[in-house]
Amino acid sequence: DQQVKQNSPSLSVQEGRISILNCDYTNSMFDYFLWYKKYPAEGPTFLISISSIKDKNEDGRFTVFLNKSAKHLSLHIVPSQPGDSAVYFCAASGANAGKSTFGDGTTLTVKP
Amino acid sequence: EPEVTQTPSHQVTQMGQEVILRCVPISNHLYFYWYRQILGQKVEFLVSFYNNEISEKSEIFDDQFSVERPDGSNFTLKIRSTKLEDSAMYFCASSTRGGLSEKLFFGSGTQLSVL
């Protein structure tokens, strides 16, 4: 039962353009959504999060959008930079915030 | 910047052996977690730990697994009798609080290989 799904295993964009990473979830009990970035040989690093009571959260070049009715969220990175190349995980949590359910990840490649 | 440290980075063991994976969480953090990622699969929650006891655990975290905070700085995951399917990257994480908005700080992981 995949409660959190990232349907695109990979995404390639040109430097300076927008990267849009998508995530869908099935469990309506999720209250909080997070995006983590992961480089090879490192652990996931927190990027940005959003509460279910909001539909948008912005932090610099990163914006997360939440559509609760569609059970869909997306991460926008603009402008994309080569250093953004990494695996991006969407994660969702309910009452126990530390117990996050992760998606499969999307490998983003930003080409110079 | 403070970070979560994990040792060893790689651990190779024989099936049936006990292994202990070690973690030093960020010093002022109060909540501790173990996650794992089997090659090609998702990052999966194993257990959360607060105030010297398990606060939640997943179905994966069966009787073969245990966690401990033996002193004020270390947080360990023990697997009593390893199986081939325990081979994975194990991530330790910590957070300042357990609230809904709390982000986790992850270590770089221990790659466990069970032969």
Which residue in B has a C-alpha nearest to residue A30's C-alpha?
Answer: B100
Q: Is B86 helix (H, G, I), strand (E, B) or coil?
A: helix
Check which CATH number belongs to the domain holding A95 and give it. Answer: 2.60.40.10
Taking alpha carbons only, the member of A101, A91, A103, A94 closest to residue A29 is A94
Pick the CATH number of B5-95 from 3.10.620.30, 2.60.40.10, 3.40.50.460, 3.40.190.80: 2.60.40.10
Tokens read off for B93: 């994480």
Domain ranges of chain B: 5-95
Name the interface residues of B facing A (CB cutoff 8 Å): 4, 31, 33, 41-45, 48, 55-56, 58, 91, 93, 95, 98-109
pLDDT, tens digit only, all 115 positions of chain B:
779 999 999 999 999 999 999 999 998 898 999 999 999 888 999 999 998 999 999 999 999 999 999 887 899 999 999 999 999 999 999 998 766 567 889 999 999 999 9
How many structural domains is chain A composed of? 1
- What are the pLDDT digits (tens) for A54-96? 999 999 999 999 999 999 999 999 999 999 999 999 999 886 6
Which whole number is the average pLDDT over A2-20? Answer: 95
Q: Which domain holds residue A45?
A: 4-111
For B41, which residue in chain A has the nearest alpha carbon? Answer: A104
Q: A97 and B56: CB-CB below 8 Å?
A: no
The residue that leads in pLDDT, A43 or A97, is A43
- Characterize B28-50 residue by residue with b for buried, 16 or more Cβ atoms within 10 angstroms of its Cβ, and e for exposed: ebebbbbbbbeeeebbbbbbbbb
CA dihedral A27, A29, A30, A32 (to 10 degrees): 160
